Amino acid sequence: MKIDALNNYLNTLLQPERFSDYCPNGLQVEGKQEINKIVTGVTASMALLQAAHRANADAVLVHHGYFWRGEALPITGIKKRRIQFLLQHDINLFAYHLPLDAHAELGNNVMLAKRLGLQITGRAGEKEMLLLAELKSPQPLQNLVNLIETKLNRKPQVIGDLIKPIQKIALCTGAAQGYIEQAAAAGVDAYISGEISEQTVHVARESGMSYISAGHHATERYGIQALGEHLVQKFDLQHEFIDIDNPV
Ligand SMILES: [Zn+2]
């Protein structure tokens, strides 16, 4: 398919104009016009670009692309080498940040809830960025922690009493630990996000809500994969997800 058609489809599906984001969403670096194979990944690091090139990708789709608000504008150093690699190999780069976190069917939050087998019950918080979900019955925090470790293949960091019963959960993937007070205000038993800060510990302890830091990368692997699989259903495209391991 043509790059313009793919770009238009993605923008209609993910509606980036609804978000005030920290980066441009959509086609960030233009490459060849005809797309047969897409590679998806969490972050457009050099390792992912090289792996995508080896996999014969015509386009790379990621959650974390380039040109973040506040970063230096000159194309030098690491940024130069990444963009040079894309242009040399004529590979398109698409990035969808907040629109991919929040999407109702393919988003990182919904896909994480599904992976953990949680029942989605609603949304809460600023711009409804928190997804509310439930376990079928109350379970000790330890059970939820074990489930997350098994499903994400990564040991989470936990603040809370492991024997405390948990049923209502709020979640927001990535570096969304700053939403912890909004999660507590939503009246849940536990909040799951990707990272943790020093102050997250105190807010968790003082609110009485448990906090689980399940990994930024680990919690954001599933939206972009779901997007790639969705594109294969819709168009005559090949898709491969490439996981570049990241312990954070
Ligand atoms: Zn992220």
Question: Residue 126 — pLDDT band, cuts 50, 70, 90?
Answer: confident
Compute the distance from residue 2 Cα to the ligand 1 centre, in Å. Answer: 28
Full strand arrangement of the beta sheet holding 190-193: 119-124, 130-140, 165-171, 190-193, 210-213, 157-159
Compute the distance from residue 42 Cα to the ligand 1 centre, in Å. Answer: 8
State the residue range of the domain holding 182.
108-218
- Whether 68 and 115 share a structural domain: no
92 falls within a domain:
yes
Radius of gyration in angstroms for the set of CA atoms belonging to the chain, rounded to a whole number: 19
- Whether 50 and 112 share a structural domain: no
Pick from 70, 54, 57: nearest CA to 29: 57
Question: Residue 134 — pLDDT band, cuts 50, 70, 90?
Answer: very high
- Whether 196 and 134 share a structural domain: yes
Compute the distance from residue 194 Cα to the ligand 1 centre, in Å. Answer: 8
- Whether 14 and 86 share a structural domain: yes
Compute the distance from residue 175 Cα to the ligand 1 centre, in Å. Answer: 6
Q: pLDDT by residue (tens digit) across 165-218?
A: 999 999 999 999 999 999 999 999 999 999 999 999 999 999 999 999 999 999
Q: What are phi and psi of 242, to 5 degrees?
A: -120, 120
- Whether 119 and 200 share a structural domain: yes
User: Which of residues 53, 73, 96 is at a domain's end?
Assistant: 96
Calpha distance 55→76 (Å, rounded): 27
238 falls within a domain:
no
Task: State the chain's maximal CA–CA distance in angstroms.
Answer: 56
Compute the distance from residue 223 Cα to the ligand 1 centre, in Å. Answer: 11
Residue 242 CA from chain centroid, whole number: 14
Residues found in the chain: 248
Residue 46 corresponds to which tokens in the numbers above?
A: 């050099």
Compute the distance from residue 137 Cα to the ligand 1 centre, in Å. Answer: 30
**Which amino acid type is present at position 27?**
L
- Whether 167 and 122 share a structural domain: yes
236 falls within a domain:
no
Compute the distance from residue 120 Cα to the ligand 1 centre, in Å. Answer: 21
Compute the distance from residue 155 Cα to the ligand 1 centre, in Å. Answer: 18
- Whether 78 and 10 share a structural domain: yes
**pLDDT for residue 127 is more than 90:** no
Q: Which CATH number covers residue 23?
A: 3.40.1390.30
Q: What is the mean pLDDT of residues 138-158?
A: 97
101 falls within a domain:
no
User: First-to-last CA distance in the chain?
Assistant: 35
- Whether 123 and 79 share a structural domain: no
**Residue pointed to by tokens 């043509």:** 2
For ligand 1, an ion, list residues with CB under 5 A.
Answer: 174, 220
Compute the distance from residue 63 Cα to the ligand 1 centre, in Å. Answer: 7
**Residue pointed to by tokens 């990564």:** 154
Compute the distance from residue 99 Cα to the ligand 1 centre, in Å. Answer: 11
Compute the distance from residue 64 Cα to the ligand 1 centre, in Å. Answer: 6
37 falls within a domain:
yes
Q: pLDDT by residue (tens digit) across 56-111?
A: 999 999 999 999 999 999 999 999 999 999 999 999 999 999 999 999 999 999 99
Q: What is the mean pLDDT of residues 242-248?
A: 96
Compute the distance from residue 163 Cα to the ligand 1 centre, in Å. Answer: 30
Domain count for the chain = 2
- Whether 56 and 125 share a structural domain: no
Compute the distance from residue 6 Cα to the ligand 1 centre, in Å. Answer: 23
> What is this structure's pTM?
0.94
